[in-house]
Amino acid sequence: MSPRLAWNGYGKAAVRLVKVEREGPENEVHDFTVDVQIQGDFLEAHLEGLNAAVLPTDTMKNAVYALAREHPVAPPEAFGARLAWHFTGACPAATSVVITITVHPWERAGSSAMIRNSTERRVAAVTVASGGTAVEAGLEGLGMLRTSGSAFSGFLRDRYTTLADASERLMATDVSARWRYARAPGDWQTAWRDVRAALIGTFTTHQSQSVQQTLYAMGSAALEACDAVSEIRLVLPNRHHMLVDLSPFGLDNPDQIYVATAEPYGRIEAVVAR
């Protein structure tokens, strides 16, 4: 049996792009990490070392910067689509181009000063292929915490189970979400903000019996918030906070003193669709 090339993709990853818009009294900063991936007919490059069909990844990097200079980069979904269509034309062997843009937010601290105080990142992913254009949006690293309104009980037990039922517990997570658009919304920025607000609002108010239940409620709220969204994938790591035993020191602990643990952690994920 001879081996065959079952799939291939290549591109430029982690292209760091910062664009400053200096029009008007206050500067605007757009801080992106751009990933470019091209999939297609590059069989000769892999089997024969012939590179006539291969667009250099250095060219991809240069194109990102040049197109950012010539065109707006906000919203990232529109800039991603512009990049994807450019590379589709620049590389005839491409059958699919995937552009993923991660947005690193800055908070204004003056007309020309910014501060960063959050690990949250906005994400836009655009795929251009023969079937058309598919757009996904999302966010990563949205840290949220509830000090009340969260429970976990009645779960399956076996000989290794030590976890006790909890009618009230501290629940913390770093939300990652990706939602797919069935069609272009009226405004990309508004759509992203509406979905984000729905996720935060539901986490804040939902009376949770499990992370799974809260995840589903958040996904349902996101679909309701934007009718252009067809489905949303949510990942909610359960960032455990354990009560500290203070009895050796003659002290009680009425759900006040916790130790935050990084690993291991629970990972709850699901796709909620229409």
Separation between Cα atoms, residue 59 and residue 202, nearest integer Å: 44
The answer to whether 145 touches 214, Cβ cutoff 8 Å, is no
Angle between helices 188-205 and 211-225 (to 10 degrees): 150
Active-site annotation holds for 240: yes
Could you tell me if 12 and 57 are in contact, meaning their C-beta atoms sit under 8 angstroms apart?
Answer: yes
Residues 6+ apart with CB under 8 A from 57: 10, 11, 12, 36
Selected catalytic residue, list 12, 30, 61, 86: 12
Which amino acid is residue 13, in one-letter code?
Answer: A
Tallying the residues shown for the chain, one arrives at 274
Q: Do the bridges between strand 114-115 and strand 107-108 make them parallel or antiparallel, or are there none, so unpaired?
A: antiparallel
- Told to judge if 61 belongs to the known catalytic residues of this protein, a careful annotator would answer no
| CA–CA dist 143, 124 (Å, integer) | 19
Q: How far apart are CA 220 and CA 205, in angstroms?
A: 14
| Count of Cβ atoms closer than 10 Å to residue 265 Cβ | 13
Does 104 participate in catalysis according to the annotation?
no
Phi and psi angles of residue 197, each rounded to the nearest 5 degrees, phi first? -65, -35
Closest CA to 103 of 135, 136, 66, 75: 75
**Of 57, 59, 95, 147, which residue is the catalytic one?**
57
**CA-to-CA distance for 170 and 259, rounded, in angstroms?**
11
Rounded Cα gap, residues 218 and 139, in angstroms: 14
Give the catalytic positions in this structure: 12, 57, 240
